[in-house]
Structure 1
Protein backbone atom coordinates (compact mmCIF):
# COMPACT_ATOMS: atom_id res chain seq x y z
CA UNK A 1 0.00 0.00 0.00
CA UNK A 2 1.27 3.49 -0.84
CA UNK A 3 1.93 5.73 2.14
CA UNK A 4 -1.03 8.05 2.96
CA UNK A 5 -0.99 11.85 3.09
CA UNK A 6 -1.36 11.68 6.89
CA UNK A 7 2.13 10.18 7.12
CA UNK A 8 3.63 13.29 5.51
CA UNK A 9 1.34 15.69 7.34
CA UNK A 10 2.64 14.27 10.62
CA UNK A 11 6.23 14.72 9.50
CA UNK A 12 5.61 18.40 8.75
CA UNK A 13 3.34 19.02 11.74
CA UNK A 14 6.03 20.55 13.95
CA UNK A 15 9.06 20.59 11.66
CA UNK A 16 9.37 22.57 8.42
CA UNK A 17 12.43 20.53 7.33
CA UNK A 18 11.91 16.92 8.54
CA UNK A 19 14.58 15.46 6.25
CA UNK A 20 17.09 18.27 6.99
CA UNK A 21 17.28 19.24 3.32
CA UNK A 22 18.52 22.67 4.33
CA UNK A 23 21.25 21.67 6.79
CA UNK A 24 22.70 18.25 5.89
CA UNK A 25 25.76 18.30 3.65
CA UNK A 26 24.58 15.08 1.99
CA UNK A 27 21.36 16.80 0.89
CA UNK A 28 23.11 19.98 -0.23
CA UNK A 29 25.65 18.05 -2.29
CA UNK A 30 23.00 15.79 -3.84
CA UNK A 31 20.96 18.86 -4.76
CA UNK A 32 24.02 20.43 -6.42
CA UNK A 33 24.65 17.22 -8.39
CA UNK A 34 20.99 17.10 -9.43
CA UNK A 35 21.16 20.63 -10.79
CA UNK A 36 24.52 20.01 -12.46
CA UNK A 37 23.05 16.98 -14.26
CA UNK A 38 20.58 19.19 -16.13
CA UNK A 39 22.12 19.65 -19.59
CA UNK A 40 20.20 22.80 -20.42
CA UNK A 41 20.84 26.11 -18.74
CA UNK A 42 17.16 27.01 -18.78
CA UNK A 43 13.81 25.25 -19.21
CA UNK A 44 10.44 26.65 -20.27
CA UNK A 45 8.08 24.68 -18.01
CA UNK A 46 9.10 22.34 -15.18
CA UNK A 47 6.97 20.05 -13.01
CA UNK A 48 8.26 18.90 -9.63
CA UNK A 49 5.80 16.57 -7.89
CA UNK A 50 6.67 15.64 -4.32
CA UNK A 51 8.32 19.00 -3.74
CA UNK A 52 8.26 18.77 0.09
CA UNK A 53 9.26 22.11 1.62
CA UNK A 54 10.58 23.53 -1.64
CA UNK A 55 14.32 23.32 -1.10
CA UNK A 56 15.06 21.88 -4.55
CA UNK A 57 12.16 23.89 -5.96
CA UNK A 58 13.92 27.12 -5.12
CA UNK A 59 16.92 26.06 -7.21
CA UNK A 60 14.74 24.85 -10.09
CA UNK A 61 12.86 28.16 -10.14
CA UNK A 62 16.13 29.90 -11.03
CA UNK A 63 16.53 27.64 -14.07
CA UNK A 64 13.09 27.90 -15.69
CA UNK A 65 10.41 30.30 -16.87
CA UNK A 66 7.55 28.43 -15.22
CA UNK A 67 7.67 25.96 -12.33
CA UNK A 68 4.79 23.91 -10.98
CA UNK A 69 5.41 22.15 -7.67
CA UNK A 70 3.05 19.71 -5.97
CA UNK A 71 2.95 17.84 -2.69
CA UNK A 72 0.28 15.68 -1.08
CA UNK A 73 0.92 17.38 2.27
CA UNK A 74 -0.91 20.71 2.54
CA UNK A 75 1.71 21.97 5.01
CA UNK A 76 4.58 21.06 2.68
CA UNK A 77 2.88 22.74 -0.28
CA UNK A 78 2.35 25.87 1.82
CA UNK A 79 6.02 25.93 2.87
CA UNK A 80 7.11 25.54 -0.76
CA UNK A 81 4.71 28.31 -1.82
CA UNK A 82 6.25 30.69 0.70
CA UNK A 83 9.79 29.75 -0.36
CA UNK A 84 8.90 30.47 -4.00
CA UNK A 85 7.09 33.77 -3.42
CA UNK A 86 9.86 35.80 -5.08
CA UNK A 87 9.41 33.89 -8.37
CA UNK A 88 6.27 35.02 -10.24
CA UNK A 89 6.44 32.00 -12.57
CA UNK A 90 6.49 29.47 -9.71
CA UNK A 91 3.42 27.82 -8.18
CA UNK A 92 3.09 25.22 -5.42
CA UNK A 93 -0.14 23.26 -5.02
CA UNK A 94 -1.48 20.42 -2.93
CA UNK A 95 -2.24 17.26 -4.89
CA UNK A 96 -2.00 13.50 -5.05
CA UNK A 97 -0.61 11.53 -7.97
CA UNK A 98 -1.76 10.35 -10.40
CA UNK A 99 -5.31 11.69 -9.87
CA UNK A 100 -4.31 15.37 -9.63
CA UNK A 101 -1.93 15.32 -12.56
CA UNK A 102 -1.68 18.83 -14.08
CA UNK A 103 -2.66 19.81 -17.58
CA UNK A 104 -0.25 20.89 -20.27
CA UNK A 105 3.22 19.86 -21.37
CA UNK A 106 6.56 20.13 -19.59
CA UNK A 107 10.09 20.11 -20.95
CA UNK A 108 11.38 18.82 -17.60
CA UNK A 109 9.75 16.64 -14.94
CA UNK A 110 11.73 16.02 -11.74
CA UNK A 111 11.07 12.83 -9.75
CA UNK A 112 13.16 13.33 -6.64
CA UNK A 113 13.06 11.11 -3.55
CA UNK A 114 9.41 10.05 -3.52
CA UNK A 115 8.76 7.22 -6.01
CA UNK A 116 9.51 4.51 -3.43
CA UNK A 117 6.54 5.70 -1.36
CA UNK A 118 4.19 4.37 -4.07
CA UNK A 119 3.14 0.83 -4.89
CA UNK A 120 4.80 -0.26 -8.17
CA UNK A 121 1.48 -0.47 -10.06
CA UNK A 122 0.52 3.04 -8.98
CA UNK A 123 3.94 4.38 -9.90
CA UNK A 124 3.57 2.87 -13.39
CA UNK A 125 0.37 4.92 -13.75
CA UNK A 126 2.36 8.01 -12.76
CA UNK A 127 5.06 7.15 -15.30
CA UNK A 128 2.42 6.90 -18.02
CA UNK A 129 1.26 10.43 -17.10
CA UNK A 130 4.86 11.63 -17.16
CA UNK A 131 5.46 10.22 -20.64
CA UNK A 132 2.26 11.78 -21.97
CA UNK A 133 3.12 15.20 -20.52
CA UNK A 134 6.55 15.73 -22.08
CA UNK A 135 7.19 18.21 -24.86
CA UNK A 136 8.96 17.04 -28.03
CA UNK A 137 12.30 17.83 -26.41
CA UNK A 138 11.19 16.92 -22.88
CA UNK A 139 13.23 15.08 -20.27
CA UNK A 140 12.78 13.34 -16.92
CA UNK A 141 15.29 13.55 -14.08
CA UNK A 142 15.05 11.09 -11.18
CA UNK A 143 17.11 10.83 -8.01
CA UNK A 144 16.49 8.35 -5.16
CA UNK A 145 18.03 6.96 -1.99
CA UNK A 146 19.21 3.38 -2.53
CA UNK A 147 18.88 1.97 0.98
CA UNK A 148 15.65 0.36 2.27
CA UNK A 149 13.16 2.69 3.95
CA UNK A 150 10.85 1.15 6.53
CA UNK A 151 7.26 1.05 5.34
CA UNK A 152 8.05 1.93 1.71
CA UNK A 153 6.67 -0.42 -0.97
CA UNK A 154 9.70 -0.04 -3.26
CA UNK A 155 13.44 0.52 -3.27
CA UNK A 156 14.92 3.43 -5.18
CA UNK A 157 16.58 1.11 -7.67
CA UNK A 158 13.22 -0.56 -8.41
CA UNK A 159 11.65 2.84 -9.08
CA UNK A 160 14.39 3.72 -11.55
CA UNK A 161 14.02 0.36 -13.29
CA UNK A 162 10.31 1.06 -13.78
CA UNK A 163 11.08 4.53 -15.14
CA UNK A 164 13.59 3.14 -17.64
CA UNK A 165 11.19 0.38 -18.74
CA UNK A 166 8.01 2.41 -19.11
CA UNK A 167 9.31 5.80 -20.24
CA UNK A 168 11.18 4.24 -23.16
CA UNK A 169 13.27 7.39 -23.57
CA UNK A 170 16.93 7.86 -24.37
CA UNK A 171 19.30 7.62 -21.39
CA UNK A 172 21.08 10.96 -20.96
CA UNK A 173 22.73 10.91 -17.53
CA UNK A 174 23.55 8.23 -14.97
CA UNK A 175 25.35 8.87 -11.69
CA UNK A 176 25.41 6.25 -8.94
CA UNK A 177 26.94 6.40 -5.48
CA UNK A 178 26.63 4.17 -2.43
CA UNK A 179 23.63 6.12 -1.16
CA UNK A 180 21.74 7.36 -4.20
CA UNK A 181 21.10 6.95 -7.91
CA UNK A 182 20.57 9.91 -10.25
CA UNK A 183 19.39 9.31 -13.83
CA UNK A 184 17.97 11.36 -16.65
CA UNK A 185 16.08 10.30 -19.77
CA UNK A 186 14.96 12.42 -22.70
CA UNK A 187 13.18 12.41 -26.04
CA UNK A 188 16.22 13.95 -27.71
CA UNK A 189 19.79 12.65 -27.44
CA UNK A 190 21.16 15.87 -25.95
CA UNK A 191 24.81 16.83 -26.12
CA UNK A 192 26.44 19.68 -27.97
CA UNK A 193 25.38 20.37 -31.56
CA UNK A 194 28.77 20.21 -33.24
CA UNK A 195 27.44 21.97 -36.35
CA UNK A 196 26.45 24.99 -34.26
CA UNK A 197 29.36 24.94 -31.85
CA UNK A 198 31.43 28.11 -32.00
CA UNK A 199 35.04 27.30 -32.78
Structure 2
Protein backbone atom coordinates (compact mmCIF):
# COMPACT_ATOMS: atom_id res chain seq x y z
CA UNK A 1 0.00 0.00 0.00
CA UNK A 2 1.24 3.50 -0.82
CA UNK A 3 2.06 5.81 2.09
CA UNK A 4 -1.10 7.80 2.93
CA UNK A 5 -1.47 11.59 3.09
CA UNK A 6 -1.75 11.79 6.92
CA UNK A 7 1.88 10.60 7.16
CA UNK A 8 3.01 13.71 5.31
CA UNK A 9 0.58 15.96 7.17
CA UNK A 10 2.18 14.79 10.40
CA UNK A 11 5.69 15.52 9.10
CA UNK A 12 4.75 19.13 8.37
CA UNK A 13 2.82 19.65 11.61
CA UNK A 14 4.72 22.47 13.29
CA UNK A 15 7.77 22.00 11.05
CA UNK A 16 8.29 23.98 7.84
CA UNK A 17 11.38 21.98 6.82
CA UNK A 18 11.00 18.37 8.06
CA UNK A 19 13.90 17.05 5.96
CA UNK A 20 16.14 20.08 6.65
CA UNK A 21 16.35 20.93 2.93
CA UNK A 22 17.60 24.41 3.74
CA UNK A 23 20.12 23.56 6.47
CA UNK A 24 21.85 20.37 5.40
CA UNK A 25 24.87 20.52 3.08
CA UNK A 26 23.82 17.07 1.88
CA UNK A 27 20.55 18.52 0.54
CA UNK A 28 22.18 21.64 -0.91
CA UNK A 29 24.79 19.56 -2.74
CA UNK A 30 22.18 17.08 -3.99
CA UNK A 31 20.10 19.93 -5.44
CA UNK A 32 23.18 21.30 -7.21
CA UNK A 33 23.95 17.87 -8.69
CA UNK A 34 20.31 17.43 -9.72
CA UNK A 35 20.34 20.73 -11.60
CA UNK A 36 23.75 20.00 -13.12
CA UNK A 37 22.52 16.68 -14.54
CA UNK A 38 19.90 18.46 -16.67
CA UNK A 39 21.10 18.66 -20.27
CA UNK A 40 19.19 21.81 -21.25
CA UNK A 41 19.75 25.29 -19.85
CA UNK A 42 16.01 25.99 -19.97
CA UNK A 43 12.76 24.07 -20.38
CA UNK A 44 9.41 25.21 -21.70
CA UNK A 45 7.52 23.41 -18.94
CA UNK A 46 8.46 21.44 -15.82
CA UNK A 47 6.31 19.35 -13.50
CA UNK A 48 7.58 18.55 -9.99
CA UNK A 49 5.25 16.28 -8.03
CA UNK A 50 5.96 15.90 -4.34
CA UNK A 51 7.50 19.36 -4.09
CA UNK A 52 7.47 19.53 -0.25
CA UNK A 53 8.35 23.06 0.89
CA UNK A 54 9.58 24.15 -2.54
CA UNK A 55 13.36 24.31 -2.13
CA UNK A 56 14.11 22.40 -5.34
CA UNK A 57 11.10 24.07 -6.96
CA UNK A 58 12.72 27.46 -6.41
CA UNK A 59 15.79 26.34 -8.40
CA UNK A 60 13.69 24.74 -11.14
CA UNK A 61 11.61 27.92 -11.54
CA UNK A 62 14.69 29.75 -12.78
CA UNK A 63 15.18 27.11 -15.49
CA UNK A 64 11.77 27.12 -17.18
CA UNK A 65 8.96 29.17 -18.72
CA UNK A 66 6.24 27.34 -16.77
CA UNK A 67 6.48 25.32 -13.56
CA UNK A 68 3.75 23.19 -11.99
CA UNK A 69 4.37 21.71 -8.55
CA UNK A 70 2.14 19.64 -6.33
CA UNK A 71 2.13 17.91 -2.98
CA UNK A 72 -0.36 15.81 -1.09
CA UNK A 73 0.13 17.74 2.18
CA UNK A 74 -1.71 21.07 2.40
CA UNK A 75 0.98 22.58 4.63
CA UNK A 76 3.65 21.73 2.06
CA UNK A 77 1.58 23.37 -0.67
CA UNK A 78 1.32 26.59 1.35
CA UNK A 79 5.06 26.60 2.06
CA UNK A 80 5.93 26.01 -1.59
CA UNK A 81 3.56 28.76 -2.70
CA UNK A 82 5.35 31.16 -0.36
CA UNK A 83 8.78 30.02 -1.60
CA UNK A 84 7.72 30.59 -5.22
CA UNK A 85 5.82 33.84 -4.72
CA UNK A 86 8.28 35.82 -6.87
CA UNK A 87 7.78 33.53 -9.88
CA UNK A 88 4.56 34.40 -11.69
CA UNK A 89 5.00 31.42 -14.02
CA UNK A 90 4.99 28.90 -11.12
CA UNK A 91 1.87 27.18 -9.77
CA UNK A 92 1.55 24.92 -6.74
CA UNK A 93 -1.51 22.76 -6.13
CA UNK A 94 -2.59 20.05 -3.73
CA UNK A 95 -2.81 16.68 -5.49
CA UNK A 96 -2.65 13.03 -4.54
CA UNK A 97 -0.74 11.06 -7.17
CA UNK A 98 -1.08 9.09 -9.32
CA UNK A 99 -4.86 9.59 -9.18
CA UNK A 100 -4.80 13.36 -9.65
CA UNK A 101 -2.08 13.63 -12.28
CA UNK A 102 -2.50 16.91 -14.22
CA UNK A 103 -3.99 16.84 -17.70
CA UNK A 104 -1.09 18.78 -19.22
CA UNK A 105 2.12 18.24 -21.17
CA UNK A 106 5.63 18.80 -19.84
CA UNK A 107 9.12 18.98 -21.30
CA UNK A 108 10.63 17.80 -18.00
CA UNK A 109 9.19 15.81 -15.10
CA UNK A 110 11.20 15.72 -11.86
CA UNK A 111 10.56 12.82 -9.48
CA UNK A 112 12.63 13.73 -6.44
CA UNK A 113 12.35 11.69 -3.23
CA UNK A 114 8.81 10.63 -4.14
CA UNK A 115 8.46 7.23 -5.75
CA UNK A 116 9.46 4.90 -2.91
CA UNK A 117 6.36 6.10 -1.07
CA UNK A 118 4.22 4.43 -3.75
CA UNK A 119 3.40 0.74 -3.94
CA UNK A 120 4.28 -1.02 -7.23
CA UNK A 121 0.79 -0.69 -8.71
CA UNK A 122 0.51 3.03 -7.99
CA UNK A 123 4.07 3.51 -9.20
CA UNK A 124 3.39 1.81 -12.53
CA UNK A 125 0.30 4.01 -12.92
CA UNK A 126 2.43 7.10 -12.21
CA UNK A 127 5.03 6.06 -14.81
CA UNK A 128 2.30 5.57 -17.40
CA UNK A 129 0.85 9.00 -16.65
CA UNK A 130 4.29 10.58 -16.85
CA UNK A 131 5.02 8.99 -20.22
CA UNK A 132 1.68 10.13 -21.59
CA UNK A 133 2.30 13.73 -20.52
CA UNK A 134 5.84 14.20 -21.85
CA UNK A 135 6.25 16.39 -24.92
CA UNK A 136 8.23 15.04 -27.92
CA UNK A 137 11.84 14.93 -26.79
CA UNK A 138 10.72 15.25 -23.17
CA UNK A 139 12.85 14.20 -20.21
CA UNK A 140 12.31 12.58 -16.83
CA UNK A 141 14.69 13.01 -13.90
CA UNK A 142 14.58 10.86 -10.77
CA UNK A 143 16.48 11.26 -7.51
CA UNK A 144 16.02 9.04 -4.44
CA UNK A 145 17.66 8.33 -1.07
CA UNK A 146 19.21 4.85 -1.04
CA UNK A 147 18.96 3.67 2.58
CA UNK A 148 15.63 1.95 3.34
CA UNK A 149 12.92 4.17 4.82
CA UNK A 150 10.66 2.58 7.41
CA UNK A 151 7.13 2.21 6.10
CA UNK A 152 8.01 2.79 2.45
CA UNK A 153 6.95 -0.02 0.10
CA UNK A 154 9.96 0.42 -2.22
CA UNK A 155 13.66 1.30 -2.18
CA UNK A 156 15.58 3.66 -4.44
CA UNK A 157 17.06 0.67 -6.30
CA UNK A 158 13.60 -0.76 -6.95
CA UNK A 159 12.31 2.60 -8.14
CA UNK A 160 15.13 3.38 -10.55
CA UNK A 161 15.28 -0.15 -11.96
CA UNK A 162 11.54 -0.03 -12.64
CA UNK A 163 11.82 3.39 -14.26
CA UNK A 164 14.61 2.22 -16.53
CA UNK A 165 12.62 -0.88 -17.51
CA UNK A 166 9.20 0.70 -17.99
CA UNK A 167 10.08 4.10 -19.47
CA UNK A 168 11.81 2.66 -22.53
CA UNK A 169 13.67 5.96 -22.94
CA UNK A 170 17.30 6.77 -23.62
CA UNK A 171 19.27 6.88 -20.37
CA UNK A 172 21.13 10.16 -20.80
CA UNK A 173 22.92 10.54 -17.50
CA UNK A 174 23.31 9.03 -14.06
CA UNK A 175 25.08 9.89 -10.83
CA UNK A 176 25.04 7.17 -8.21
CA UNK A 177 26.44 7.50 -4.68
CA UNK A 178 26.08 5.37 -1.57
CA UNK A 179 23.51 7.90 -0.31
CA UNK A 180 21.32 8.48 -3.37
CA UNK A 181 20.56 7.63 -7.01
CA UNK A 182 20.18 10.32 -9.66
CA UNK A 183 19.14 9.47 -13.24
CA UNK A 184 17.95 11.31 -16.33
CA UNK A 185 16.04 9.75 -19.23
CA UNK A 186 15.07 11.38 -22.54
CA UNK A 187 12.63 10.47 -25.30
CA UNK A 188 14.99 11.62 -28.07
CA UNK A 189 18.36 10.80 -26.51
CA UNK A 190 19.92 14.10 -27.55
CA UNK A 191 23.13 14.86 -25.64
CA UNK A 192 24.50 18.28 -24.76
CA UNK A 193 27.28 17.95 -27.32
CA UNK A 194 24.74 17.02 -30.02
CA UNK A 195 22.56 20.01 -29.08
CA UNK A 196 25.52 22.31 -29.60
CA UNK A 197 26.62 20.74 -32.89
CA UNK A 198 29.76 19.12 -31.49
CA UNK A 199 28.81 15.61 -32.66
Normalized against structure 2, the TM-score is what? 0.97
In structure 2, what is the Cα distance between the partners aligned to 1:33 and 1:71?
23
For residue 130 of structure 2, what is the aligned residue in structure 1? Answer: 130
For residue 148 of structure 1, what is the aligned residue in structure 2? Answer: 148
Cα deviation for residue 193 of structure 1 reads 2.6
Alignment of 1:8-19 (within 5 A): 8-19=8-19
1:73 aligns with 2:73: yes
Could you give the per-residue CA deviations for residues 27-53 of structure 1, whole angstroms, max 9, x where no partner exists?
A: 000000000000100000000000000
Q: Structure 1 regions of 5+ residues with no counterpart?
A: none
Could you give the per-residue CA deviations for residues 49-100 of structure 1, whole angstroms, max 9, x where no partner exists?
A: 0000000000000000000000000110110011101001000000011111
Cα deviation for residue 137 of structure 1 reads 1.1
Cα deviation for residue 165 of structure 1 reads 1.1
Cα deviation for residue 194 of structure 1 reads 7.3
Alignment of 1:25-44 (within 5 A): 25-44=25-44
* RMSD of equivalent CA atoms: 1.1
How many residue pairs were aligned? 197
In structure 2, what is the Cα distance between the partners aligned to 1:39 and 1:47?
16
In structure 1, what is the Cα distance between the partners aligned to 2:115 and 2:197?
38
Q: Which moved more, 1:54-63 or 1:181-190?
A: 181-190
In structure 2, what is the Cα distance between the partners aligned to 1:69 and 1:154?
23
Q: What secondary structure sits across from 1:63 in the alignment?
A: coil
For residue 82 of structure 1, what is the aligned residue in structure 2? Answer: 82
In structure 2, what is the Cα distance between the partners aligned to 1:194 and 1:145?
31
Q: Structure 2 regions of 5+ residues with no counterpart?
A: none
Q: What secondary structure sits across from 2:194 in the alignment?
A: coil
Cα deviation for residue 196 of structure 1 reads 3.5
